[in-house]
Amino acid sequence: MLNYLSRLTGRDRSERYDDHLAHFLTFIAGAANAGGFMAFRQYTSHMTGIASAAADAVAIGNLQAALAGAFALAAFVCGAAISAILINWGRRKALNSVYAFPLLLEAILLAFFGISGEALQGIDGIIVPVTVVLLCFIMGLQNAMITKLSGARIRTTHITGMVTDIGIEIGKLVYINRRIPNHPPVHADRGKFILLSGLIALFFLGGVMGAVGFNQYGYHSALVLAALLLVLAVIPVMEDLITGARAK
């Protein structure tokens, strides 16, 4: 189990471990996204929707809502940037935890959200922008990590691209090939189809669990997601700490 966790978020990668990690992170993203919606009626992984809402707000003269959307977009970008900085720093240091660091930071931020969200809710005019910005930052952090880890093959915080790719593979699957010289036949990538279908199902399941968890336990339900992320990230980090201590 420890070896599996080390390989899951460690430096040495394979498509198998990329896909396994993507399953965990897609579930977490779906749960955080749905829980966030239950908390303040706004999804935080869907930047297309946030940008559209900000544009609508500008059109009707609601500058406060437009500014909130701009902050949410900026938070997602900042999260992605911090993830890239951590990963590039880890690569330069040849750390095994190169991809675990962004997940560890995500776990800390989700734990903060779970512990302090209820207290922040009592502050008028603070809870919506602070929590939305925090969750958008977390989603950007996670999405950039899995994007760099998989070479942009996988995303986890939104499913628009996945649904599009599934449609493409279905089109290939039902396409009727005819023998034409110098034209290779069209074949569907069944492995990709199965992977993306599984990720979409996990995003949906995470959404259900996140909504149910928030309804039952409020902000504290985010602590479960933080604990899962901590389990995913802690082994490579501990290995690097032990290696560094021995080197001294």
- 248: in domain: no
176 vs 90, higher pLDDT = 90
pLDDT band for position 37 (cuts 50, 70, 90) = confident
Q: What is the pLDDT of residue 82?
A: 95
Mean pLDDT along residues 15-39: 89
* CATH number of the domain where residue 81 is located: 1.20.1250
The position carrying tokens 């776990």 is 107
pLDDT over 90 (residue 26): yes
- 237: in domain: yes
pLDDT over 60 (residue 245): no
Q: What is the pLDDT of residue 81?
A: 96
pLDDT tens sequence across 98-148: 999 999 999 999 999 888 877 766 665 555 567 788 888 999 999 998 888
pTM recorded for the entire structure: 0.86
242 vs 203, higher pLDDT = 203
Q: What is the pLDDT of residue 128?
A: 58
- 81: in domain: yes
Q: What percent of the chain has pLDDT over 70?
A: 94
pLDDT tens sequence across 51-68: 888 888 889 988 888 888
Q: What percent of the chain has pLDDT over 90?
A: 37
Per the structure, the complete domain to which residue 64 belongs is given by 2-243
Q: Identify the CA nearest to 42 among candidates 68, 64, 81, 24.
A: 68
The CA distance from 63 to 226, in Å, is 34
DSSP 171-226: HHHH------TT-PPP---HHHHHHHHHHHHHHHHHHHHHHHHHHHHGGGGHHHHH
pLDDT band for position 77 (cuts 50, 70, 90) = very high
Q: What is the pLDDT of residue 122?
A: 60
Tally of structural domains, the chain: 1
Q: What is the pLDDT of residue 117?
A: 76
Q: What is the pLDDT of residue 121?
A: 64
Radius of gyration for the alpha carbons in the chain, expressed in angstroms and rounded: 20
pLDDT over 80 (residue 157): no
- 128: in domain: yes
The CA distance from 30 to 36, in Å, is 10
- 197: in domain: yes
